[in-house]
Amino acid sequence: MARSEERFVCQNCGSAYSRWQGRCDDCGEWNSLVAEAAPAALPKGLKAGRGRAIEFSGLDAAPAEEPRLAVGMPELDRVLGGGLVPGSAILIGGDPGIGKSTLVLQAAAKLGSRGIDCAYISGEEAVAQIALRARRLGLSQPKLRLAAANSLRDILAGLEKSGRPDVLVIDSIQTMYVDNIDSAPGTVSQVRASVQELIRLAKSRDVALFLVGHVTKDGQIAGPRVVEHMVDTVLYFEGERGHQFRILRSVKNRFGATDEIGVFAMTDGGLAEVANPSALFLGNRGGNVPGAAVFAGMEGSRPLLVEIQALVAPSSLGTPRRAVVGWDGGRLAMVMAVLEARCGLAFGGNDVYLNVAGGLRINEPAADLAVAAALVSSLTDQPLPEETVVFGEISLAGEVRPVARMEARLREAAKLGFRHAIVPQGAGRAPDGLRLSAFDRLAALLALFPGTGGN
């Protein structure tokens, strides 16, 4: 066997170096290199002669639908694409304290209450602590197997002895280690090896596997990207600390759509599912104030109404401030530039603040028109017409472009009692009770705000 040498592996991106350096050349992270034992080199020159020939088959070999194990939490099941697939691995990442352990514990208890055999293994908390938390959450499932362990060898032995579970939860993958690798838990090679072992178990014994993963300070799941490639599903649990909303977002799913979200609220009794997020995000909206516009957005297959708030105020600074929460700063700069160049508005000496209410993060360009409406409303100090929703993409030329799923957005707005929608041309037929104002140019928006010289 080749002598295993030491190498230095970036804990942020997984790049390996032969000597230590302060900064990773690949990802630019400082002080992220840690010494790890290099894996023994693979023998060169594989000959096909001695292999066992694999069999090929046609597309019809696959069963029509994978069997699904519904968790019984509709928000989670939807993000998973309809439930757990036995033999698959799901990685859940998120900031510390966001509620990952609470989510997986609740899911395990829910499964347990339906007679599904779950094992929950924590590398971070003692069994008594988990049991205490479960009691506080009002969960007490005799069917749930709890353990506190870090050694994968011990965990595999324990599962061997007490029987294979249907669902295995590992909280968290960064605290697990395999004892035939010489580096600390949480390092790239340990994380990779532990995930490999667990996936091997899951695939060979048809166990559905939940892995909790820590994230780095810029929000990636810690450890090598390769872990994300190894698992079948990657979910991120997000939310603003100060808000109670938590959003479970699927970024990779071999068994379902990737743009689905599940909405939860963190309460004293754990995570509560939010079946109607629009009502929640608009829940404590005040009256019609200048600078507020309700955006009819889509999150995955589901329409979601949120309030976008803008504040345009005279600046006392030489370089006015632009601050954005929940949206893209570059996109805000673009919408403001189009409003200045095509509509003759001037934001010049003003600070501009933009906020998506409720701690939600919006990625859709369809929010452009709602942002523009909120900005103009604040700049002119005039509220938008009452009971109005807005959506549409803005081009650099100042046109308002149609966006995807316009009818679903309008239906959701009508369902929640809105009476007026500002939309791109070609938005289709309005549902009953909803009046449409369709624009093809951004300049036409100004007509809603008398005194801005709009046409």
Residue 131 found at the interface with ligand TYD (CB under 6 A): no
Distances in Å between the Cα of 380 and the Cα atoms of 256, 279, 295, 337 are: 45, 28, 19, 17
Q: Minimum Å distance from CB 124 to Mg ion?
A: 6
Query: Residue from 34, 137, 230, 436 that binds ligand TYD (CB under 6 A)?
Result: 137
DSSP string, 104-160: HHHHHHHHHHTT--EEEEESSS-HHHHHHHHHHTT---TTEEEEE--BHHHHHHHHH
Query: Residue from 133, 143, 254, 415 that binds ligand TYD (CB under 6 A)?
Result: 133
**Alpha-carbon dihedral angle through residues 351, 399, 345, 365, given to the nearest 10 degrees:** -10
Residue closer to ligand TYD by CB (options 37, 147) is 147
Residue 266 found at the interface with ligand TYD (CB under 6 A): yes
Query: Residue from 14, 83, 93, 99 that binds ligand TYD (CB under 6 A)?
Result: 99
Query: Residue from 67, 97, 428, 450 that binds ligand TYD (CB under 6 A)?
Result: 97
User: What gap in Å lies between CA 128 and CA 317, rounded to an integer?
Assistant: 55
Closest CA to 296 of 390, 401, 430: 390
Distances in Å between the Cα of 48 and the Cα atoms of 43, 54, 92 are: 14, 11, 39
Kindly state the number of chain residues that form the binding site for Mg ion, as judged by CB under 5 A. 1
Tokens of 280: 């929640």
Query: Residue from 101, 141, 190, 194 that binds ligand TYD (CB under 6 A)?
Result: 101
Tokens 């979910």 belong to residue? 235
Residue 269 interacts with which of ligand TYD, Mg ion, none, CB < 5 to 8 Å by class: ligand TYD
Tokens of 81: 């694409």
User: With CB under 5 A as the contact rule, which of the stretches 77-85, 95-103, 134-142, 274-282 interacts with Mg ion?
Assistant: 95-103
Instruction: Please give the residues from 287 up to 346 whose contact with ligand TYD meets the rule CB under 6 A.
Output: none
Residue 352 found at the interface with ligand TYD (CB under 6 A): no
Residue closer to Mg ion by CB (options 146, 370) is 146
Residue closer to Mg ion by CB (options 101, 350) is 101
Residue 101 found at the interface with Mg ion (CB under 5 A): yes
Query: Residue from 268, 314, 318, 451 that binds ligand TYD (CB under 6 A)?
Result: 268
Residue 106 found at the interface with ligand TYD (CB under 6 A): no
Residue 102 found at the interface with ligand TYD (CB under 6 A): yes
Query: Residue from 94, 224, 277, 303 that binds ligand TYD (CB under 6 A)?
Result: 94
Closest CA to 356 of 296, 306, 303, 422: 306
Residue 369 found at the interface with ligand TYD (CB under 6 A): no
Closest CA to 364 of 424, 423, 408, 300: 300
Check if the beta carbon of residue 91 is closer than 8 Å to that of residue 213: yes
Query: Where are the extended beta strands (E) located within 300-434?
Result: 302-314, 322-325, 350-356, 388-390, 393-394, 400-401, 420-424
User: With CB under 5 A as the contact rule, which of the stretches 98-106, 186-194, 278-286, 421-429 interacts with Mg ion?
Assistant: 98-106
Q: Minimum Å distance from CB 441 to ligand TYD?
A: 46
DSSP string, 259-323: S-EEEEEEETTEEEE-S-HHHHHHTT--S--TTEEEEEEEETTEEEEEEEEEEEEE--SSS--EE
User: What gap in Å lies between CA 80 and CA 74, rounded to an integer?
Assistant: 10
Residue closer to ligand TYD by CB (options 101, 183) is 101
Residue 133 interacts with which of Mg ion, ligand TYD, none, CB < 5 to 8 Å by class: ligand TYD
Q: Minimum Å distance from CB 104 to Mg ion?
A: 9
Site of interaction with ligand TYD (CB under 6 A):
94, 96-102, 133, 137, 266, 268-270
Site of interaction with Mg ion (CB under 5 A):
101
